[in-house]
Amino acid sequence: MEKPQDIFGSLVFNFDVMRSRLPKDTYVALQRTMATGKRLPPEVAAVVANAMKDWAIEHGCTHYTHWFQPLTNVTAEKHDSFISLVPGGKVIMEFGAKELIRGESDASSFPSGGLRATFEARGYTAWDPSSYPFIKDHTLCIPTAFCSYDGQALDKKTPLLRSMDALNRQALRILRLFGNYDAQRVTACVGAEQEYFLVDKALYDQRRDLQFTGRTLFGAMPPKAQELSDHYYGSVTQRVKAFMQELNEELWRVGIPAKTEHNEAAPAQHELAPIFESVNIATDHNQLTMDLLRKVALRHGMVCLLHEKPFANINGSGKHNNWSLMTDTGVNLFEPGATPAEDAQFLLFLCAVIKAVDQHADLLRLSVASASNDCRLGGFEAPTPVISIFLGDELTAVLDALENHRTYVKETTADMSVGVHVLPKFPKDVSDRNRTSPFAFTGNKFEFRSLGSSMSLAEPNTVLNTAVADALQGFADVLEKADNFHAACEELVIGTIRQHRRVIFDGNAYSQEWAKEAKARGLLSMQSVADCLHCMVDDKNIALFDRQRVLSESEIRSRQEVRGETYCKVIRIEAQTMLVMTQGEILPAVIDYSKRVLEAAELKQQMLPEMEPVELRLAAKLGTVLQQIVESSDHLRAQVEAMDKKQGWLKQAAFCRSHVLPAMAQLRAACDEAELLSERASWPFPTYGDLLGSV
């Protein structure tokens, strides 16, 4: 294994490469653009492009691509070679400012929610200088935004960048009020914990549901799954360890700071976590991480499953979004310090988050809503659909004291004692952690735990950045006009706590008691995509995105349509896959096995007439479940046909939730019962026991 320090960033056009290859004035201009977001002059871009081309060719590249993130959860690429014809039938390798700065793509073939039609196909990709170009598969990849001919955002990066600018504007206003003129930029930073499953490819190839939908639509529970909790943090198998080692090397080469890896709670489940980065770069890196997870797994004869719930009744996979605010001077604005009760700046930023989450819980919930994540959210191992904030004992006590005009007395931090003298003493944290909260403060950051494993980080962080920026704007508008800044600041903090404390909950968010209490508090509980689609175009949300210059109304409505259409399409694909597997695999297997059981019963009656043929009892059970399968299959087919007749994706989405999904569950229950009754060798595809123990 090569040393991480030798290979890290070796395939990235980063500051070190820029410094060594660019003239000093060009390097300074590009660095300024990356730090401040100011536009790069074309003449400077031309010098950068030439240096980038030479560097890429030296690494074996013949092509480049504008690497962008359309309104899907995957990235897109169109490769062009560096070659250019010259007189005499020769070619030279060229790459200029025009090719670097702008590309063109067919915008009508990507989801656009009505922003583009087939006869309005032109779309542009625009270089994002704030994210490093990198080499993947011997191709120079240039991170870009994607917009329509009219300048409307057709991707997930553009709104994210806009939200970062909005957050920076409003956060700097607050910092200036506290006398901080050193900081020139405030950036949202994210560390995303990525969970995933690994299964053997040979078994995967025998399951159409995994191939078409990314999850198992059928499967009875094996005798042992995760009941003993012996997989979590357990010893990694040699096969998986080899995969992880190669994955780390691939990630490090493209500058992704992969840090932590371990077995997760479910069998065959694992987790990868990087070091914090700017949310824009973290989003790019997470998209690249998911791509590399799939590719490296295949090299090891495995398939990486990023679906949020690939196996029913077993822990699903999330993507914990650890979010913080950092100044360009290296200050974490969510660092409480030794005396958080006396840190007015920290308390103001904390209250901005509390206000943002309470006012825009609907948008936060919608930002993590998908057909696949619906399978996980609200389960015993995943956050509830109710968005609440966990602050911990100390911060909750600080806010209580402020609200009631009491002096906060800090609890003395004690050393941990576990009753073994040889173990070293270490300080006990003031507060415990809460793994059930969807939005938890964890020391100097917030962990938004509701994201699904296959999702882009862009949308949840766009919403989070925008909502917090709006809260900060409201605070700044008040404080800039205040005669007594400190008194006004205290009043703002106390008023925010009183108005929005309903969203603070430090207990067990998985419990039924909390569901009842949340309803009493007036908090929203949206169980599925169909329940929360409408909120995206609520007047308050359109006004929010417009006020912060993040999304126009037409861009918002387009995203609502894309999300609704995608939800309906995913459910339809799953339902059709179930019908295909039932008709072509499960029914023939059950019928064949039933036939052999009846033949065995008939033979026993002939050979041993005095003995009761117990096979008839098994045949009767198989007959009953066979009838249930046929009836449930017919019912599901009827529901899909009825869904297709609904006009508009809003009605289709509601019908999916209330009719198609229950019909799918009914068919699954019958087929899973048939699996338990059938001979193992006769079952047409690998079982849960096969898949979960395959690597």
CATH number of the structural domain spanning residue 685 = 1.20.120.1560
Residue 383: predicted pLDDT? 82
CATH number of the structural domain spanning residue 265 = 3.30.590.10
Q: Is the dihedral of CA 151, 154, 155, 160 positive or negative?
A: positive
Of 84-88, 210-214, 644-648, the least confident: 84-88
Closest CA to 457 of 318, 557, 561, 355: 318
Measured CA to CA, the distance from residue 633 to residue 575 in angstroms comes to 10
Residue 150: predicted pLDDT? 80
Residue 414 above 70 pLDDT? no
Q: Structure pTM?
A: 0.94
Same domain, 139 and 170: no
Residue 148 above 90 pLDDT? no
Same domain, 86 and 111: yes
Residue 103: predicted pLDDT? 87
User: What digits encode the pLDDT tens for the residues 47-57?
Assistant: 999 999 999 99
* Domain end residue (candidates: 155, 171, 186): 155
* Domain end residue (candidates: 107, 131, 155): 155
Measured CA to CA, the distance from residue 377 to residue 384 in angstroms comes to 6
Closest CA to 410 of 391, 393, 394, 399: 394
Residue 248 above 80 pLDDT? yes
Residue 423 lies in a domain: no
Residue 558 lies in a domain: no
> In the chain, how many domains are there?
3
- Burial grade of 190 (CB within 10 A; 0-12, 13-18, 19 or more): buried
> Could you tell me which residue, 379 or 96, shows the higher pLDDT?
96
According to DSSP, the β-strands at 302-305 and 186-200 are antiparallel
Same domain, 364 and 238: yes
Residue 310: predicted pLDDT? 97
User: What digits encode the pLDDT tens for the residues 656-666?
Assistant: 999 999 999 99
Residue 605 above 90 pLDDT? no
How confident is residue 225, by pLDDT bands cut at 50, 70 and 90? confident
Once rounded to an integer, what is the mean pLDDT over residues 12-35? 89
CATH number of the structural domain spanning residue 140 = 3.10.20.70
Measured CA to CA, the distance from residue 46 to residue 510 in angstroms comes to 55
Whole-number mean pLDDT of the chain? 92
Q: Which residue has the tokens 């493209």?
A: 254
How confident is residue 358, by pLDDT bands cut at 50, 70 and 90? very high
How confident is residue 201, by pLDDT bands cut at 50, 70 and 90? very high
Same domain, 520 and 611: no
Same domain, 211 and 335: yes
Question: Residue 138 has which token pair?
Answer: 């011997």
Same domain, 487 and 343: yes
Once rounded to an integer, what is the mean pLDDT over residues 643-648? 93
User: What digits encode the pLDDT tens for the residues 436-489?
Assistant: 899 999 989 999 999 999 999 999 999 999 999 999 999 999 999 999 999 999
The residues near 98 (Cβ < 8 Å, ≥ 6 apart) are: none
Residue 247 lies in a domain: yes
Residue 23 lies in a domain: yes
Same domain, 203 and 101: no
Same domain, 207 and 347: yes
Same domain, 305 and 173: yes
- DSSP reduced 3-state for 189: strand
Measured CA to CA, the distance from residue 352 to residue 360 in angstroms comes to 12
Residue 418 above 70 pLDDT? no
Helices (H), 534-648: 539-547, 553-581, 587-607, 615-645
Residue 633 above 70 pLDDT? yes
Are 261 and 17 in contact, with CB atoms under 8 Å apart?
A: no
Q: How far is CA 372 from CA 12, 72, 329, 625, 664, in A?
A: 33, 13, 40, 28, 14
Residue 8 lies in a domain: yes
**Structural domain boundaries, residue 145:** 4-155
Residue 293 above 70 pLDDT? yes
Residue 661 lies in a domain: yes
- DSSP reduced 3-state for 648: coil
Once rounded to an integer, what is the mean pLDDT over residues 141-156? 91
Closest CA to 277 of 400, 165, 373, 189: 189
* Domain end residue (candidates: 551, 575, 609): 551
Measured CA to CA, the distance from residue 379 to residue 373 in angstroms comes to 10
- CA triple 577-580-581, angle to 5 deg: 85
Question: Residue 18 has which token pair?
Answer: 């820029």
Question: Residue 248 has which token pair?
Answer: 């780390």
Measured CA to CA, the distance from residue 620 to residue 601 in angstroms comes to 11
Residue 123 lies in a domain: yes
Share of residues in the chain with pLDDT > 70 (%): 95
Measured CA to CA, the distance from residue 636 to residue 662 in angstroms comes to 9
* Residue 66, strand partner residues: 142
Closest CA to 126 of 110, 109, 149: 149
Residue 120 above 70 pLDDT? no
Of 103-112, 121-130, 591-600, 609-618, the least confident: 103-112
Burial of 297-325, coded b for 16+ CB within 10 Å and e otherwise, reads beebebbbbbbbbbbbebbbbbbbbbbbb
Residue 607 lies in a domain: yes
> Could you tell me which residue, 435 or 11, shows the higher pLDDT?
11
Closest CA to 688 of 375, 225, 303, 309: 225
> Could you tell me which residue, 198 or 402, shows the higher pLDDT?
198
Same domain, 671 and 598: yes
Q: How far is CA 418 from CA 233, 421, 422, 430, 431, in A?
A: 21, 8, 10, 17, 18
Same domain, 254 and 322: yes
Same domain, 502 and 612: no
